[in-house]
Structure 1
Amino acid sequence: MLLDYLKSWPLYVLPHHAVSRMVFRLTRVQCPRVVPAAIRLFAKIFKVNLAEAEYTNPEDYQTFNQFFTRSLKAGVRTIQGGEKHLVSPVDGRISQVGKIENGRIFQAKGHEYSALELLGGDAERAKPFMNGQFMTIYLSPRDYHRIHMPVSGQLIEQVYIPGRLFSVAGHTVRTVPRLFARNERVVALFETNHGLMAMVLVGAINVAAIETVWAGLITPPTKPSVQTQTFDAVHLEQGAEMGRFNMGSTVILLFANPNLTWTKISQADQALQLGQLLAQFN
């Protein structure tokens, strides 16, 4: 635990946004000599399975970010759900899962945060989730970084919330209080056949670039205050792409419906693939 604190402490003084903007620019540089070599090195270090990508040759990517947000080959992921099922929206690893108790969400041993602050401080927005359920999924650098719908839904609101850009790796989750409620994030609120669902896309250092299919690039630039948009014509089916991270981060799913039965794989530290069955709505 002491090592976790030693690794996390420098993040408090780092200029999160300045570092992340530099990474944003570097990952979009077009250089035929450097980009393929950087991709090969990254893939080797983080054990990226390029065989699953639509384009398997590093020379096929003009920028590092194109590689990082790569698409997958058709058929390499299967959506295992149906009308009453919830599936994984990403490739990643479960950080935590369970009940939201009186609006409190478990982060790690000794740490929790509120649905109210996670969703931007609006009591009416948070109210339906006060005793619902949640799942937090971490995307590592090796993972596929597009985000898909875990269940079909009608988008009703998008909320941008400014904040810090702490790392969301395990050592910071275990040591930085209220981490996910402090970082910059985008909330997408959906009406589904099973009640309200919030998909919270949490930014992190070196990430800080979040896109959705209906709005494009949301951040950067960083906005000075909470920004809210409402929608009435965006419906996405289960398994459809809804957004992407430019570099790795975390997705938090919130459900107003408490009648959700999790499968055996839905437990902390479990690796996931996009489309894998997570739960059933009762």
Structure 2
Amino acid sequence: MCQSNTLQGPDLHTGKWLQFPQLALRRRLGQLSCMSRPALKLRSWPLTILYYLLPFGALKPLTRVGWRPMSRVALYKSVPTRLLSRAWGRLNQVELPTWLRKPVYSLYIWTFGVNMKEAAVEDLHHYRNLSEFFRRKLKPQARPVCCLHSVISPSDGKILNFGQVKNCEVEQVKGVTYSLESFLGPRISTEELRFSQAPPGNSFQQQLVTKEGNELYHCVIYLAPGDYHCFHSPTDWRVSHRRHFPGSLMSVNPGVARWIKELFCHNERVVLTGNWKHGFFSLTAVGATNVGSIRIYFDQDLHTNSPSYSKGSYNDFSFISNNNKKGIPMRKGEHLGEFNLGSTIVLIFEAPKDFKFHLKAGQKIRFGEALGSL
């Protein structure tokens, strides 16, 4: 038999006011639980935002009747960053009236600390739209290329992490790692890349090392919105292969990189792999919010931030052909590509054990300055 507690006197009215909202909320939450996952996420999203924004835990009572807010990470991942980035790209292409250019660009310069004295064209009226301003070139003498060291910085930016790759993992920021194989994708079985003939049982890291006694190194450079947006070849090498991973376009700001595990593996990225004089060498341009446009100058077939893609997919393109068996030769300091705003570049390469970085974590660096040498 069902038992019920009857309320007498003044408690009757109090009980109704306490029980009715809970009953109604439980019924409503029951309806939500029957929805499809996308519809449920759409309904829960505004409520979750209010849950985190409103002071004094105003919506905390909802958790007592069965509602659970999305985690902050899940909430951030549900933001349509690819759509926003494409919209931003369209906005960047809109030609600004001449009278509006200086105020708009001056605000950006002031906000992000851009040094326009280094720009090849300092006159702000010259840049017809935001895209041209972001892709501004520098004066030739603004970034002298260091000839004394074997690897230079491919861009302006901030050093997030560097060192030897250990246990098949790379640090995106201090204490937060991601899988080397997840980041680069499966090993490319192209003979021209000269991968080591390691037994299949060896780790992915060991399979990338082509010469006995060498180690695998990495360096992560974060480009802020105010930095010079082009990137260059960090050494003399040959690019044999390009792998494009469509993906999310979450912010790669160091604060977000500490927050989201394997952020670089989730984001859209373009992996260039090849060889330098010491063996395997790769440069990866990682996309970010409003940086769906990654351009590689010698690769006209590359198209990033397309409207649709399959999660976890990637596409490969080989620069090795019957007519060009050596790939694309790149000289140290040569123009390689550009971002649309700010982003991240990850270098992963093979070098002898006596290779030394000349860096400190967190330091600012400019294109052409030394990263490391033998």
Give the structure-2-normalised TM-score. 0.69
CA RMSD between the two structures: 2.1
Post-superposition CA distance 1:12-57 (Å, at most 9, x none): 2210101101111111111224343221110011110001001111
Structure 1 unaligned spans of 5+: 1-5
Equivalent in 249, 272, 277 of residue 165 of structure 1: 249
Post-superposition CA distance 1:231-268 (Å, at most 9, x none): 1342110000111101100000001225353344x121
Matches within 5 A, 1:1-282: 10-32=75-97, 33-82=99-148, 85-122=150-187, 127-128=207-208, 132-216=216-300, 218-221=303-306, 223-224=309-310, 225-232=313-320, 233-259=327-353, 261-264=355-358, 266-281=359-374
Counterpart contact for 2:223–2:344, Cα < 8 Å: yes
User: What residue identity is the alignment partner of 1:230?
Assistant: S
Counterpart contact for 2:209–2:279, Cα < 8 Å: no
Post-superposition CA distance 1:135-169 (Å, at most 9, x none): 00000011001000110111100110111111000
State the distance in 2 between where 1:9 and 1:68 align. 31
Counterpart contact for 2:173–2:254, Cα < 8 Å: no
Counterpart contact for 1:36–1:61, Cα < 8 Å: no
Say which one has the larger Rg: 2
State the distance in 2 between where 1:88 and 1:14 align. 33
State the distance in 2 between where 1:260 and 1:142 align. 35
Distance 1:251-1:129 versus aligned 2 partners, 3 A rule: farther
Bigger RCO of structures 1 and 2 (CA < 8 A, at least 6 apart): 1
User: What residue identity is the alignment partner of 2:350?
Assistant: A
Report the 3-state secondary structure (helix = DSSP H, G, I; strand = E; otherwise coil) of the residue aligned with 1:132: strand
Shifted more, 12-21 versus 34-43: the winner is 34-43
Distance 1:72-1:260 versus aligned 2 partners, 3 A rule: farther
State the distance in 2 between where 1:35 and 1:260 align. 51
Percent identical pairs in the alignment equals: 30
State the distance in 1 between where 2:354 and 2:153 align. 14
Distance 1:106-1:36 versus aligned 2 partners, 3 A rule: same
Counterpart contact for 1:92–1:271, Cα < 8 Å: yes
State the distance in 1 between where 2:245 and 2:178 align. 16
The structure richer in helix per residue is 2
Counterpart contact for 1:156–1:231, Cα < 8 Å: yes
Q: CA deviation at 1:81?
A: 2.6
The structure richer in strand per residue is 1
Distance 1:228-1:133 versus aligned 2 partners, 3 A rule: same
State the distance in 2 between where 1:7 and 1:48 align. 32
Report the 3-state secondary structure (helix = DSSP H, G, I; strand = E; otherwise coil) of the residue aligned with 2:317: strand
Shifted more, 133-142 versus 249-258: the winner is 249-258
Structure 2 unaligned spans of 5+: 1-70, 190-194, 196-203, 321-326
Work out the number of aligned pairs and report it: 274
Counterpart contact for 2:246–2:305, Cα < 8 Å: no
Counterpart contact for 1:129–1:254, Cα < 8 Å: no
